Structure 1
Amino acid sequence: MPSAAEVKIYPRSAHTISRTQISENALKVLYRLQKSGFDAYLVGGCVRDLLLGREPKDFDVATNADPEQIRKIFRNCRLIGRRFRLAHVHFGREVIEVATFRGGGEEQNDRQMLNKEGRLLRDNVYGTIEEDVWRRDFTVNALYYNIRDFSVVDYTGGMEDHRAGMLRLIGDPETRFREDPVRMLRAVRFAVKLGFKLHPDCEKSIPELAELLSNIPSARLYDEALKLFLSGYALQTFEMLRHYGLFKVLFPATESSLAIEENGFPKLLLIKALENSDNRIAEGKTVTAYFLLAAFLWEPVQVEAKENMIQGMVEYIAYQEAAGKVISRQIKSTALPRHISMAMREVWNLQPRFAARIGSKPNRLLKHPRFRAAYDFFVLRAETGGADPELADWWRRYQDASEAEQRKMTQPSRRLQHGKSCRKKNFRKNPSSNATGNES
C-alpha cells in the first residue's frame, strides 16, 4: 500500500482531458455526487481512452458513496449484483455505472484463498480510493479523473506507462492472473486495441498460466471471445492469442486443425474471415458472431464429416452429424448460445447445396433465410482453396440475373439433353441394354 507521498496528481494543465469530451450524463452524475458531499471520479477505460484522444464507449464513475446512498441521490438508479453491488444510473439508452470504492489491504489479504483449480479467491468489501486502486487490473486502467479540480490522480505510475505505451499489471502478475484468469484475455485485447506492449513480467506469466482459463465458466469465455474478435482487431488478436497459448483453450479443436494444416489451409480461411470482419467494422458495417465462429470451426467439421463418409454416411447426413459433434465439444470451452449454434449449422449444412445448378434447386436455395451468409461463406472457401471459384462466380451471376435469365442458367445443357435423348432412343430399340448402353 503506497503512502500519500507516492500519489501523483496531474493538474488540468498537465493532461489533455477536457470536459467537452465527457458525456453530459456522466458529468451530471459526477456533479450531483459532489454536491451531495461525496468524492466522485471518472475511472478506468474511459480515462485511458480520453488521454489517447479516443471517444470512450462507456463512462464509469467511482465514489465513496455506498450503493444505498447512490440510490437515494438518483431516482433513475438501479442496483445490480450480489457479491459486489453496482449502481446503474439510467439516462434513456445511456447508462452510467457508479461503483463504490472497493476495499483491500491486510484485512482483505487475510481472507484470500486458493480454490481447487488454483484460482485465488477473495471477498469484495467497500473501502477507500487508496484501496480501490489496487483492486484494478492494469496501471493504465487505474487513473482517476477528479471532477472537483479536473486533475488526474495516479497511484500506480499509470500515466508514465500510458505515455510509454506499456500495459503493466498492478501487483504480482501471477497473483493477479490467479485471481481472475480472464485478465490474460483482457491483456491481449487491450494490448492490440491500444497498440501497447505487454510488460515482460506479464508476458512471462501468461503462457505458464493459460490453462487456468479452462476453469472459467464457458458462458463467460463466450462473452470474452466476442469482445476479442468483434472489436475491429480480430486478426491481430488471433495471432497474439496463439502466440501466448490462449487460443487453444478457447477453441481447442480449431487449434488442433491448425497444427496439421497443408499449404496454408485451413489457416488461410481463418485469416481471410478475420480480415473481412475487421474491414467490415472499419467500414461501419455489421459483423455477425455466428459467421466468424462458423469459420473458426469449419475445418474440425470437415475432418469429422470425412470420417463419417468413410464409414458410409451420405454427404449431407455426414455434415449434419459432424456439426453436432463439433458444437457439443466446443460449448465445453466457450458456450455458444442456441441461436448462434443453430445459425452456424445452417451455414455449414447449406454448403453442399451450392453444387446443384439444374432445375428448381438453385431457386429454393436462393430463397433460404440463411442464403446470404451461406453464400458469403462459400465465396470465402472459394477464395482460400476450399471450393470451386467458377461455381462461386456462377452463383454471383445467378443472383444478379433476371428471372428469365435464371431459368436459362438452370436448364440442362444441350449436350446433356442430347445425351439423355440418345439413351432413351437406345433403350426403346434395345430394352435389354443397361443404362450405360452395355449388353447385359
Structure 2
Amino acid sequence: MDKRIATPLTPLIVPRAEHGISRKDISPNALRVLYKLREGGFQGYLVGGAVRDLLVGGHPKDFDVATDATPEQVRSLFRNCRLIGRRFRLAHVVFGREIIEVATFRANTDDGSGDRETEDGGRLLRDNVYGTIEDDAVRRDFTANALYYAIEDFSVRDYCGGYQDCQDRVLRLIGDPVERYREDPVRMLRAARLAAKLGFAIAPDAAAPIPELAPLLSAAPPARLFDECLKMFLAGHAESSFMLLENHGLLPALFPETAVALETNRSGALRAMVLQALRSTDERVAQDKPVTPAFLFAALLWPAYCRELAVMQKAGIDPLVAQQRAADRVTLHQAQRIALPRRFSQPMQEIWLLQPRFAQRVRKRVFRLLSHPRFRAAFDFLELRAGAAPELAADVAFWREAQAQAPEQLAERLDPKAPRRERDPDDLSPEGEGAAPGPKKRRRRRRKPGGGEGGGE
C-alpha cells in the first residue's frame, strides 16, 4: 500500500502503472474535451467523482473536467458549448444527451473583485475567483474528490491525500470540518450519500460536528435539497443512506415530521416499512427497473402522515376530511424543507388516500378502485405496508386475486352491499397507528334535478 504523503506544494503523482484507471473506462466525449483543451494550449484534467469511482472499481456516469481556461476560453474552443451559472460559472460541452461539465480552477481566497462572496455564517454565495490547480484542489470538499487524471501521461495527481484515502476507503474533509460545513451545509448530506454509495467510513473529525450543525440545512434552498434527495435515494443505496442520516442526526433536519413520527412509534413498524421501501427501491435500481419520486416520498412521509391523521381523528374530525387535511398539511410542511414538485406530491397523496379503500368489498367500489389510474402504485404501497403489518395480508391476497380474475368472475364473488371490513386499530393504515376512529357523519342525499317545487334542491 502506497503511504507517500501528498501536499499542495508537493503533489503525489501516481503513474499509469500504479493505478487501475484505463481510458477505455472514460467517456469518449470527456477524452475529446481533454485533448482539445491540451491542443488549445490549456491544462485539462478529469477530476472529482469520476476519478474517485474509477480508482475504487466503480462505473461513473458523469465525467467532469477542470482546466486553467476561463469559461469564455472554453466556449471559444467548442462550438457545442454553453455557459451556465452565476454563483459558480461553468462551461457545459454538449454531445447529444451527454454533457461534459468543464470548471475553471477556483482559488480559495477572495481577491477583492467581488467574485467570491460569503454570508456572515460562512455560507458560500458566489465563487468565481480563478486560481491554480493547487488552489483548486484545497478548496474541494473531500480528499477523495481532489484527484486529477492527466491526459498527457495518464497519471493521477493527488494534492490532498485523497489517493491514500481511496485505498483506505475513508471520506475525509479538506480543511476544518466546521468551517467547511458552515460554508455549504449540504456537504453534510453529501458525506452521508458518498459514504453510502462507496462503502466508505466518514472520518471521525468529519463526522463529529454533523449532529450539532445539522440544523443549518434549514437555510439550504429547498430545490437543492430535493435534488440531493434524488441522488441519495434513487441511485441504488437508499437504505444505507437513510441509516446514515439517522446515525448522524441528519434525518430531523431533512424530514422533521417523519423523524418525530418514527421516534414516537413504539412498535417500530413504521421504520420497518420505510426501510423495506428503500430496500425495494435499491433492488429496482439494481435491476434497471423504473423508480418514481412519488412512490419514494410516499414511503418516506407515510409515518408523518399517519401521525398527523391520528391527531385529527382523535379530535373527532370526519375520517374523509381528516385524511385529505392530513395529506395537505404534511405535504405543505415538508415543502418548506424540500421542494417536492406537484407532479410528484399529487400522486403521492393519491397513493395515501387510496389505502383505506382497500378494506372495501362492495362490488361497485371494488371495480371503481381497480379502474383508478393510481391503482397499481397504491396496491404496491399496500404490499409494502403488509411487509411490516401481517394483518394486511388478507387485503393483499384479495386484491391480487381481483386483478387476475375476469370481471364476471369477480362480480360473482362480491356482494353488492357487503359491509366494510373492520380494521385492527394498530395496523399501518390511515385509520391505524393508534388513531381512534372519528365519528361517522351521514351524508345528505342530493335530490335529482327537477325534483321538488323549485325544479332543484
Q: TM-score, with normalisation over the residues of structure 1? A: 0.89
Deviation string 1:11-63 (CA, Å, 9 cap, x unpaired) is 11121111111111111111111111111100000011111222211111111
* Counterpart check, 1:155 vs 2:159: yes
Give, in angstroms, the shift of residue 373 of structure 1.
0.6
Tell me if structure 2 keeps the 8 A contact 1:272–1:380: yes
In 1, distance between residues paired with 2:23 and 2:122? 44
| Aligned-partner SS, 1:280 | helix
Does residue 275 in structure 1 map to residue 279 in structure 2?
A: yes
Identical counterparts, % of pairs? 52
Count of residues in Structure 1 that have an aligned counterpart in Structure 2: 415
1:346 to 328, 345, 350: 350
Q: Closer, same or farther in 2 for the Cα pair 1:348/1:405, shift >3 Å?
A: same
- In structure 1, stretches of 5+ residues that fail to align are 417-440
Q: Is 1:136 paired with 2:123?
A: no
2:261 to 257, 263, 273: 257
Q: 1:138 and 1:404, CA in 2 relative to 1: closer, same or farther beyond 3 A?
A: same
Match of 1:360 among 353, 361, 364: 364
Choose the corresponding residue for 1:237, options 237, 241, 251: 241
Query: Would you say the 8 A contact 2:84–2:91 is kept in 1?
Result: yes
Amino acid at match of 2:78: F
Q: Specify whether residues 18 and 316 from structure 1 end up closer, same or farther in structure 2 by C-alpha distance, changes over 3 A only.
A: same
Instruction: Please report how far the alpha carbon of residue 106 of structure 1 lies from its aligned counterpart in structure 2 after TM superposition.
Output: 7.0
- Whether the aligned pair in 2 keeps the contact of 1:117 and 1:212 (CA below 8 Å) is no
2:410 aligns to what?
A: 406
* Aligned residue number for residue 191 of structure 1: 195
Question: What are the equivalent positions in structure 2 for 1:9-408 lying under 5 Å apart?
Answer: 9-105=13-109, 107=111, 115=119, 117=121, 119=123, 123-385=127-389, 388-408=392-412
Give CA-to-partner distance per residue, 1:324-376, whole Å, 9 cap, x none.
11111111111211111111111111111112222221111111111111111
3-state DSSP of counterpart to 1:79: strand
Q: Which has the higher helix share?
A: 1
- Measure, in 2, the Cα distance between the counterparts of 1:78 and 1:111: 20
Relative to structure 1, the CA distance from residue 415 to residue 261 in structure 2 (aligned partners, 3 Å threshold; closer, same or farther) is: closer
Greater relative CO (CA pairs within 8 A, separation 6+): 2
Sort the Cα spacing of 1:30 and 1:358 in 2 relative to 1 into closer, same or farther, 3 A: same
Counterpart residue number, 1:432: none
- Secondary structure of 2:269's counterpart equals coil
> What is the Cα-based RMSD across aligned positions, in Å?
2.3
Q: Bigger CA drift: 65-74 or 114-123?
A: 114-123
Change (3 A) 1:352 1:5: closer
Q: CA deviation at 1:76?
A: 0.7
Letter in 2 for 1:273: A
TM-score computed with the length of structure 2 as normaliser? 0.86
The alpha-carbon distance between structure 1 residues 4 and 56, as it changes in their structure 2 partners (threshold 3 A), is closer
Alpha-carbon distance in 2 for matches of 1:9, 1:116: 38
